[in-house]
Structure formats: structure tokens, C-alpha cells
Amino acid sequence: MSSSAADTDRSPPAKKARTEPNGNTGTQCSTSSIPPSASLEVSQNGMANAENDIDEGLYSRQLYVLGHDAMRRMGASNVLISGMRGLGVEIAKNVVLAGVKSVTLHDTGDVTWEDLSSQFFLQEADIGKNRAEVTLPRLAELNTYVPVNTHTGGMDDEFLGKFQVVVLTNSSLTEQLRINEFCHSKGIRFVVADTKGLFGQIFCDFGENFSVADPNGEPPISNMVASVDKDEEAVVTCMDETRHNYESGDFVTFTEIKGMTQLNGCEPKEIKVLGPYTFSIGDTSGMSDYVRGGIVTQVKVPKIMKFKSMKESIEQPELMLTDFAKFDRPGQLHIAFQALHEYFKQNGSLPKPRNKSDADKFVAIAKKINDSSAAKVELDSDLMQQVAYSACGDICPMAAVIGGITAQEVMKACSGKFTPVNQWLYFDALECLPEKPDEKLTEETCKPRNCRYDSQIAIFGEQFQQQLGSLKYFLVGAGAIGCEMLKNWAMMGLACSEGGEITVTDMDTIEKSNLNRQFLFRPWDVQKTKASTAAAAVKRMNPNVKITHHEDRVGPETENVYNDNFFEGLSGVANALDNVDARMYMDRRCVYYRKSLLESGTLGTKANVQVVIPHLTESYSSSQDPPEKSIPICTLKNFPNAIEHTLQWARDQFEGLFSQPAENAIQYATDPKFMERTLKMPGTQPLEILDLLKKTLVDEKPASFQDCVKWARNLWQENYNNQIRQLLFNFPQDQTTSSGALFWSGPKRCPHPLTFDTANTTHLDYIVSGANLRAEMFGMPHNRDRNAIAKMATAVEVPKFEPRSGVTIATTDAEATARQNEGSLDDTDLESVQSALPSPEKLKSFGIRPVEFEKDDDTNFHMDFIVAASNLRAENYDIPAADRHKSKLIAGKIIPAIATTTSLVVGLVCLELIKLTQGHKNMEAYKNGFVNLALPFFAFSEPIAAPKNKYYDTEFSLWDRFEIQGDMTLEQFLKYFEEHYNLEITMLSQGVCMLYSFFMAPAKRKERLSMPMSEVVRKVSKKKIPPHVKALVLEICCNDKDGEDVEVPYVKYNLARP
């Protein structure tokens, strides 16, 4: 939702004509389901062709998860998805967004009421029509690069042979076994996915020789080498700056080793970890002696996986654990799903909701199957009964969870990227049922009503549906998570009855790169507001949903909108945000108003869910991730050793060259106090800022584009030649430290100066982008004629430079900071610079504007400059260069994202919302979760209880407070705490204002004691209390009756309004 994470490429993906229409709409098998020319067409329309033409504008965030190679392999895969109920369409949606070669939808059934609780592309008017045919046009809109076809006949071997991946979602066990036998024999990847009520199942068979190119998707780890033993079991020691983070069994190779050069570029060596900084690599006894230096880098070695056929695997199952608290559940559900197939085979339907007779029949079948199974378990009859009771149900959150996981498995099958499920995965959300479900739910309350929520009522009953419909929820953010949340809510019927309402806010507009994972948006929506477009989209999915959209940022500036009346009327809040500050702000608001908060986030294939429950759990802000490790200033300025360092340096250059100078100039021209503030800065900072201002407004102010080229050419010389020569003058290549070690060793890489050459593309890229950005800052038009710019650059007379003695270069951050803050300021120089500046009045009409960095517009020269500036500096220090794609990820601080993870995490969030709506008070029913689909790995735990504090005998947590009704005087307020709580207030504050303290001057204290509290706040803060504010938040420090400091809650002081 934040502008910093916005995607700003304006153009929607190109729409190109397909060689065939969007599929066969007949009722029989058609040979045109996958056109013979599809391969040619897909390569032409941008997914994967000989020119590696992947639309990076559309797929950019997903590319950072999967990489180009995996995307190309996906672009060669035809996928069949059978079954277009809620689960099938969820899988198809994610696979189409991902960008495979083609998707064929198969379904022989027609739309019924039961489909509408989870199939978001179906509407009431579609009842009676074929599910696949109705779904096709709405699904095809998601990605113009992926042809979508339908097939409504049988699935014989000839038809199945056209696909690389086959997915079955609504099929009998007999059909699953038949199709799997064929697919297993032909090397076709095969997936079964199913949901029955609150239970889900996935089975994967990718053949007997499936190669996983990258098991975990993590970037290869590199470390600097400190030493290598010459031994039969050689030990490698890494620099002790950070732990190496390798694991035994990893493979590594080496570069830049001095002495033992046989290791450089060696075949990957398997390692055994010995400690946080050491590992062994095998025999080096026949190699040269190690001298110094070197970089060790992890190598991803393909892993071969052998999958059993479904027939074999049913009897000898490999079961994945999705919840460590349910250790025996997978084995139980393995039997239960077989029993459901058998029950359907015998009865022609699933057990009716909450029907005791049907449940007893089902349990008997389950026992019989279990007794004859090679995978026999100690059957839990109560669990089997709950499976029977909810088997007819079909809810959107379960489809989202199982559909997200399954779609990722399809992508693994296509690409070989990440580790597949091996081989059975079972998941359940039994905790969503009300406490004592057998007392609260009956066959009558769960029977069908011929309405769109029948499949949800089958599980939770009619009363729960009414509760959902009357909820009032605030959704903060309408990006990827927000879109999925709204889809789930609309299908569930949240805020679809009288009294219910969803309020969604998002300040961003839709960008092209959003379309790959924010599935409520279409190419023609680019540049529309997210909140309004998402609201309209879910209205089409379920016309009954009551939704209000805003375009506001949540924060102190909008507390007049999201005020006491707004929050007090809410049932709860769900965050769909992309930045920590906004999350923490909403968390504080929820704690203050005592509202539940559903918090979630994704990072590539990783996702987390946290449920915050008033008076029960800790809040989001109670625990925080450690701050990101910053790069030392001296490393950036003079001693880079990794491409991340040169990219950060390039970003700093961008801000310092094209943004900060213009901002300073504008402040100087418009802010009367700019000069006063600047002169008060410590050390030499005033002179540095004013000197830069003088250069911008006087010395280097361009009169033409030629001047901009001259400026860029001289800057190139300064950065990549002069400064490097000065650095080597101060610290020659053979310089040693006081201990006798080489200065240029370890993390310090010895640089070399570059010589400018217009024939070098990177050199010219720097001049072209730098000159154009300089021109833009001064209001001049761009010039894209590279030949003309090259001639201008060649004509520039570059001043001769010779390194000088007496130039001090800091080698540590402490030195650099000390010099900046403690350097002596020459008043004469400062006065000279000040006098040379034009008066602010003369600059009122001066056309200068800061250039705000925007990573996603490939025409604006921003990334051109960053890439060139970084790679030139990398060349200075012999650091491998980074391409534009990697540079954009690092410099743009892009968060990798993929639709599958978002689908899964929102499904988990909505399961928690169901529990909140049920009113669960037992924390064990709730699940915080962490998931990594790449591994795959699932970890769930009950939320952490809110920590308790105590004063006297009163316990309190972050959810508690003193609540006082105004309007008292300050003296009355102090006495109130003495008389009611036996507490002496020693300090009282509101925000950043100190209202009272025991050490306050007597006269001031006497004056304030007689004033009403609201007047004290107005006087001290020098601000009026806004009309929408009903209460003040006051922080107090107190002593108990023994005079000891005691921690107490905050005070909510309710204002006495007329």
C-alpha cells in the first residue's frame, strides 16, 4: 500500500491475437483444445521464446521468486486442470497468473447453488450451465499471454498425452488411479487436490526421475576466506565478520584464492560444517600452499526425487506433516479420504451434513478400509464422524489454502524449481467449528437453503452465516493480500446482510506489475485506484456485499476519518499492508480500541499469519524482527567488496546528485528558516550543504544539454579515476598495517582506476543517463541520441588530476563520523559561500525540481544510471557486475511476490476470522503460522498470551488501562489516583508534552494544578484538541504507598464534550 512499494510501469501487457479462440465451447472432446500452433503463438506473445522474451514489466515480482530459467520452463508447459469448483478455479487462477504455456479447463458438471460459496467466477445466473465454459472467459482475462481452453468430454489417453501436467480436483478415486497410471508411465506430472469441508488433501507424482534444480530458492551464500588447510580433510576458515550459514551436505566452489589456485573454479565440493566459521572440504594435500584471500560460494546441485505411483503410494504413503500439534492426523485423514470415495461409490452422494445415520455408515466404511490397509492406523472414530459431518461443505478459505499450495506444486512440476510435496499432504481446520459443535449444530441448522452459502452453512449452520453477514470489517490495503481477502470475504458472505459493511482503503493506483498477483485488476484498470476497482470487482462476484472504498493513508493525519465512532463500530481489522510502520500504527489503534487484528505478510514463497485477540494475546508490536544490517559508511565510500555495496553507493549517488540538491535549492528559495537551521548543524556540515547549494545554483548550473553532458563526463572522471588514484596514493597496493598484514586484504579489495571510452557501453550509459537526469532536474528536455551525446562527451576537456599529499581518507566509520561532526569550520569560507548565493527572492521562478527515484519505468533513465554507476564501481574493485534485473531487485528494495503464497496466506487468515466470529475464547483454537512453499514447510502455533504486569494485587496487560471521565482539574486528577488507586503520580505526559512532574517549577505547577486537564493539554502543546477527539491518551509514572516506582497502565481520559 505504501508509495515506496508501488509498481509504476504505466503500460498494460500487450494483447496479441491468438491463433485459436479461447477454447472449445462444445460438450464433447475437441482436438482443438490445445491448438497445434499454440507453441508458436505462445512464443510470439511473450512468455518464452528463442529471444528469452519474458515480459518483465508484468512478471517482475514473480521473476524475483522463480528466476528466468524456471519461467521459461513454465512457458513450455501445457497444464490440464479438471474440476472447476472452488478449488479448481483457485488453482487455475494462480497457474494462469504464473504464466504457463496453456491451461485447459475440464469439467462435465453444471453450476449448482453449492458451487457459489467458493467458485468466485460463477454467478447465480450461471446455475445450470457447464462450469468450465462459464469460467473460461473470466479466467482468460487474468493473463493475455496464457491461452485458456475448455474440454467438457471424457479424458482418454490421447487427450491426456497432450499435457505436461495433469491436475484432478473433483474426481473419483477410480479415475485418479486410472489417470495416474497413464501419467506415471508417460512421464506426465500428476497432481490430485481435494477439499471436503474443513479437510484438504494433495497428492503429487512427478515420476521416477524428477530433477529439482533448486531445492529451496535461497540465493547462494558467499563468504570471504581467511584460511584453507593443506590436509587430507582440509578445514576452511571464513572471516569472522558473520557466520557462514552453510549446512553439512552443501556444495561450494572458490574464486580469487591466492596460492592454492587449484581451488579456483573447482568442481563443487561437498562440505561438512565444523563450526559457525569453519567447514571441511576434503583432500587438499596435493595442492599448492594457501597464501591469502578468496571467496567461497555455495553451488546449487540438482536433487533427483523418485515418486511412487498413486496405487503404490496409497498403501505405502509418504505423509507430510503440516501441523506438529496434529502428529497423527495425516495418517487418519489418509484413511478418511479413501472412505469418502468409497461412501460416494456406494451411496451416490457424500454424507449429509450433521446426519448421524450417514456418519455412522461412513465410520463403518473407514474402519473397514483401515483394517485392510497396509497403512493401518489406530482410527479416531470421533474425527471420522467430524469428517462425515462436514464432507458436503465447500468453503473459500479451504480452497484458497489447498489451491495455493497445489498451484505452487504445478509450478514446481513445470519448472523443477523448489522441492515438491513428497507425496501426500493433508490439512485440516477443525478448530473453526464452534466450541461443543455437536450441541450447537444440527442437521436442521446445516441443511441446504438453495442459497449461495449452502456449502458453508453445511459446515457452520445458518446462525453463523447470519453472524458473518452482519460483521463490520476494516481492510487496510487493496494490493495482493487485499484482493484475495476481499474475494474470500465476498464468497463467505461477510458483510452481506443488514448491518454489515466492509471498509477498504488504499492510496495507491494500479500498475502493470500488480496484474501478475492482484487478481481483481485487469489491464484496462491500470492507473485506476486500487480500492475502488477492488470494491467494484467483488461487487460483481457477490452483489450482496456491502463495501465502502477510500483512498486514504492510515496514520495520524486521517484520524479525523478513522475516528472513535469509526473504530468503535467495527467487528475487527485486517491488515493487507507492505510496510512495518503502517502495520505498527494499525496495531496500536486496535489495541486502543480493543479490536481484533488479522495480520499477515508474504516474502516470495514465505508467508506468516498472526491473529491478535483483545485481552488474550500479545499484539503485533510486542515482538519485532531485528533491524536490517546496514552497510558501514567506509565500506560504501572506499572499500566495497560486494555488488550490494556498489548498488547502495549508486542509490546514494542518485539521491545526492538528482534529488537532494534540488530539495535544498527549493527550501532555500521558499523556507525563511532554512539558512538558520543549516548554520546550526555540527562540524563541517553547514559548509558542505551550502557549498553544494552554490554548485547547484551558481557554479554548475547548466545553460544547455551540452553542459549536462560536460557535468556527467567530469563526474565519471572524478568517481572512477581520480578518487581511485587518490585512494591508491594514500594506500598503495603493497601497503601494510602496523601488524605487518597487507592493508588490501580480507574485506578490502584493491581497486584500479578506469579510463573513459565512449565505445564502452557502460561508460556511455552513465553519461547518457546522468546527463538526462541532470537536465530533467533543471527543467530541460531529454536527449536520447546516444551518438550525439558520445560526441559531446568526447569534446569535453577533462581537467588534469594528480593525487595530492595531505588528503585524509577515513578507514573506519568512527573516523568518518568524527571528522564530519568535529571538523573545524572556517568562517571565512562559510561567509564566502553565503555571499556567492543568489538571494531567495531571485529564485522564486527558478525551474528546478528533485528527481524522485522510480525503479519500474524503463524509460526514465533512473535504473540506467543506477546500473551503470554500480557496475563501473564494481569494475573498479573487480567485483562481478549485476544485470539490470538483479540491480533493480537490490537497489529498488523490491519484495519478491507470487500469487500462490498470497492465496495460501489469505486462506489461513480467513480461517482465523471464522474462529473470531465463532467467539472462541480458548487460545489453543487459534493458529499463528509460518509457511515456506519452496521447501515446503508449515509451522503453526497458538498465539502468545499477552504478558501480565502487576501493581499491588492488580494484574494488567497491554489491553488494560485506567479510564477516567473528565473534565477534572489537574489537581483533581492527581487526587483521584491517590484516593482510588493509592498511587502518587510523579510525572504525567500526553504525546511528547510533559503536563506535570514532581520537579516542575513551583509557580508553573501551581498555575497548572487549578486548570482543567483539557486546558493544560492545550496550553502545553500549543494546539487545540481536534473536534473528533473524544479522549486523551495520558502516560503516567507513579510511586506506590512505599514511595517505590511502579509500572501502571496508561490513562484514557474521556473528554467532557458539550
Using one digit for the tens of pLDDT, what is the confidence trace for 496-545? 999 999 999 999 999 999 999 999 999 999 999 999 999 999 999 999 99
Name the nearest CA neighbour of 930 among 328, 427, 198, 323. Answer: 323
Q: How far apart are CA 825 and CA 91, in angstroms?
A: 66
Q: Give the 3-state DSSP-derived string for 679-691, with helices as H, strands as E and coil as C.
A: HCCCCCHHHHHHH
Ordered DSSP codes for 480-527: HHHHHHHHHHHHHTTT-STT-EEEEE---B--GGGGGT-TT--GGGTT
Task: Determine which helix (DSSP H) or strand (DSSP E) holds 1039, and give its type and residue range.
Answer: strand 1031-1039
Q: How far apart are CA 63 and CA 604, in angstroms?
A: 10
Asked if pLDDT for residue 41 goes beyond 60, the answer is no
CB neighbours of 616 closer than 8 A, spacing ≥ 6? 921, 923, 943, 945, 946
Cα–Cα distances in Å, from 304 out to 251, 316, 506?
A: 15, 20, 45
Asked if pLDDT for residue 52 goes beyond 80, the answer is no
Asked if pLDDT for residue 31 goes beyond 80, the answer is no
- Taking only the tens place, the pLDDT of each residue in 423-469 is 999 999 999 999 999 999 999 999 999 999 999 999 999 999 999 99
Q: What's the confidence (pLDDT) of residue 822?
A: 60
Radius of gyration of the chain (CA): 33
Residue 426 β-bridge partners: 201
Q: What's the confidence (pLDDT) of residue 513?
A: 93
Q: How far apart are CA 742 and CA 386, in angstroms?
A: 72
- Can you count the helices (H) and strands (E) in the chain? 36, 33
Segment 360-389 mean pLDDT: 98
Asked if pLDDT for residue 13 goes beyond 50, the answer is no
Q: Is the peptide bond before 423 cis (omega within 30 degrees of 0)?
A: yes
- Taking only the tens place, the pLDDT of each residue in 397-417 is 999 999 999 999 999 999 999
Asked if pLDDT for residue 18 goes beyond 60, the answer is no
Q: Which residue has the higher pLDDT, 38 or 988?
A: 988
Asked if pLDDT for residue 211 goes beyond 90, the answer is yes
Q: What count of other Cβ atoms lies within 10 Å of the Cβ of residue 947? A: 9
The DSSP secondary-structure symbol of 73 reads H
Asked if pLDDT for residue 45 goes beyond 70, the answer is no
Q: What's the confidence (pLDDT) of residue 815?
A: 83
Asked if pLDDT for residue 207 goes beyond 60, the answer is yes
CB neighbours of 775 closer than 8 A, spacing ≥ 6? 702, 705, 708, 781, 782, 783
Asked if pLDDT for residue 43 goes beyond 70, the answer is no
Asked if 22 and 154 touch (Cβ cutoff 8 Å), the reply is no
Cα-to-chain-centroid distance, residue 907: 16
- Taking only the tens place, the pLDDT of each residue in 683-735 is 888 888 999 999 999 999 999 999 999 999 999 999 999 999 999 999 999 99
Q: What count of other Cβ atoms lies within 10 Å of the Cβ of residue 161? A: 12
Angle at 731 between CA 730 and CA 734, to 5 degrees: 145
- Taking only the tens place, the pLDDT of each residue in 635-688 is 999 999 999 999 999 999 999 999 999 999 999 999 999 999 999 888 888 888
Q: What is the mean pLDDT of the chain?
A: 92
- Taking only the tens place, the pLDDT of each residue in 65-86 is 999 999 999 999 999 999 999 9
Helix (H, G, I), strand (E, B) or coil at 71: helix
Amino acid in the structure at residue 172: S
Cell 555495496 belongs to 645
Q: What count of other Cβ atoms lies within 10 Å of the Cβ of residue 949? A: 15
Q: What's the confidence (pLDDT) of residue 823?
A: 57
Q: How far apart are CA 198 and CA 731, in angstroms?
A: 68
> Which burial class, exposed, middle or buried, applies to 712 when counting CB atoms under 10 A from its CB (0-12, 13-18, 19+)?
buried
Asked if pLDDT for residue 628 goes beyond 80, the answer is no
CB neighbours of 812 closer than 8 A, spacing ≥ 6? 634
Asked if pLDDT for residue 632 goes beyond 70, the answer is yes
Q: How far apart are CA 386 and CA 357, in angstroms?
A: 13
Q: What's the confidence (pLDDT) of residue 825?
A: 62
Torsion (CA) 760, 765, 767, 769 in degrees, nearest 10: 180
Q: Are strands 78-82 and 102-106 parallel, antiparallel or unpaired?
A: parallel
Asked if pLDDT for residue 36 goes beyond 80, the answer is no
Segment 297-308 mean pLDDT: 96
Name the nearest CA neighbour of 756 among 708, 804, 724. Answer: 724
Q: What's the confidence (pLDDT) of residue 25?
A: 33
Segment 258-280 mean pLDDT: 97
Q: What's the confidence (pLDDT) of residue 1058?
A: 62
C-alpha cell recorded at residue 62: 514473480
Annotated catalytic residues are: 634
Burial 837-875 (b: 16+ CB within 10 A, else e): beebeebeebebebbebebbeeebbbbbbbbbbbbbbbb
Asked if pLDDT for residue 34 goes beyond 50, the answer is no
Angle at 52 between CA 48 and CA 55, to 5 degrees: 70
Range with the largest mean pLDDT of 29-43, 153-167, 685-699: 153-167
Torsion (CA) 257, 260, 262, 267 in degrees, nearest 10: -60
- Taking only the tens place, the pLDDT of each residue in 320-357 is 999 999 999 999 999 999 999 999 999 999 999 999 99
Count of all residues that appear for the chain in the document: 1058
CB neighbours of 306 closer than 8 A, spacing ≥ 6? 208, 209, 210
Q: How far apart are CA 679 and CA 690, in angstroms?
A: 9
Q: How far apart are CA 186 and CA 204, in angstroms?
A: 15
Q: How far apart are CA 878 and CA 563, in angstroms?
A: 56
Asked if 484 and 602 touch (Cβ cutoff 8 Å), the reply is no
- Taking only the tens place, the pLDDT of each residue in 822-865 is 656 677 888 888 889 998 888 877 889 999 999 999 999 999 99
Residue 428 β-bridge partners: 199
Q: How far apart are CA 595 and CA 619, in angstroms?
A: 11
Q: How far apart are CA 857 and CA 773, in angstroms?
A: 14
